Amino acid sequence: MGNPLQQTPTVGKDMREQVEQCDVIIIGAGVTGLYALYRLRERGFAVRVFEAGGGVGGTWYWNRYPGARFDSESYTYGYSFSEELLQEWDWQEHYAGQPETERYLNYVADKFDLRRDIQFHAHVASVVWDEGADRWQVHLADGHRAWAQFVITAVGSLSAYYIPDFEGLDSFKGVWYHTGRWPAEGMDLAGKRVGVIGTGATGVQLITAIAKDVGHLTVFQRTPN
């Protein structure tokens, strides 16, 4: 979110009538956000999910880099709230890759009709507590506003990305991407000179996936693991 949670004076009834009203607002349509939506709607709450991305999945929507996959057995990521869902879905790999995981989460969203309560491309700019109204005001970057008694921040941590202030990055003539915002259409790295910065879990997955295709690969490691 762009701004921290804060308090603001109470606004009038007329202003409240101009914004979307619901019981619960969930920020993020990843694994946790989808589950929270299902459970809360099951209990009769009016719920709205605001998702910055263009689809469901959270981490598994944003992290599309080559080699991205689970580091635990696939079944441990599956929802267990529905026996029917458990019987319908068969993981194709013991440690599923990103494409299969994203397909699974889209399957869940479709099966339980979750999309009708999700607003995509909705970047939350601030969440403000109205002391007098005893409700949250949620402001989106596009100016849309919503009110709710409860706010659940299901933003996670693995979908956030950080780009260090590398000197010369602004004037770099080549093409560069962050693994956390890999283009959905992919990248043609065949025969290219490629540099990878970082050898954490993501770096190791990416390096091993592209090494066989690139023309020359250089890995920059700050601190050996």
The per-residue pLDDT for range 119-132, each reduced to its tens digit, is 999 999 999 999 99
pLDDT single digits (tens) 159-208: 788 898 999 999 999 999 999 999 989 999 999 999 999 999 999 999 99
Residue 11 scores a pLDDT above 80: no
Helix boundaries (H) for 43-116: 59-62, 83-88, 98-111
pLDDT single digits (tens) 43-99: 999 999 999 999 999 999 999 999 999 989 999 999 999 999 999 999 999 999 999
Residues 136 and 130: their CA atoms lie apart, in Å, by: 6
| pLDDT for the residue numbered 12 | 47
- The residues of the chain that CATH labels 3.50.50.60 are 6-153
Mean pLDDT for the stretch of residues 202-215: 96
| pLDDT for the residue numbered 189 | 95
Q: With beta carbons less than 8 A apart as the criterion, state whether 148 and 22 touch.
A: yes
Helices (H) then strands (E): counts for the chain: 6, 9
Which of 64, 62, 68 lies closest to 161, judged by CA?
62
| β-pair partners for 175 | none
Residues 57 and 124: their CA atoms lie apart, in Å, by: 17
CATH 3.50.50.60 at 6-153, yes or no: yes
| β-pair partners for 124 | 140
